[in-house]
């Protein structure tokens, strides 16, 4: 694993949560376009985050019902 990958992966959660500044998120975005390894990790986080959102949604639905 190279240093850029390590760096990208360490900021991945912040990138996903939209907590990075424009330059930083652009750097990660560009890296993801040509790095399949980091791309896979991004996919995993994305799926996991969707699952979390879904469970949040279903729990808030059951509260409102």
Contacting positions for Zn ion (CB under 5 A) = 5, 35, 38
Measured from the CB atom, is 40 or 51 closer to Zn ion? 40
CB of 20 to Zn ion, least distance (A): 16
CB of 52 to Zn ion, least distance (A): 24
Measured from the CB atom, is 15 or 35 closer to Zn ion? 35
CA dist 59 and 53 (Å) reads 10
Per-residue exposure over 48-63, b if at least 16 CB sit within 10 Å of its own CB, e if not:
eeeeeeeeeeeeeeee
């Amino acid at each position: 694993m190279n240093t850029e990958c390590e760096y990208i992966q360490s900021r991945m959660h912040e990138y996903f949560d939209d907590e990075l500044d424009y330059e930083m998120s652009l750097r990660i975005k560009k890296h993801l376009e040509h790095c399949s390894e980091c791309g896979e990790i991004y996919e995993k986080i994305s799926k996991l985050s969707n699952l979390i959102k879904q469970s949040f949604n279903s729990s808030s639905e059951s509260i409102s019902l």
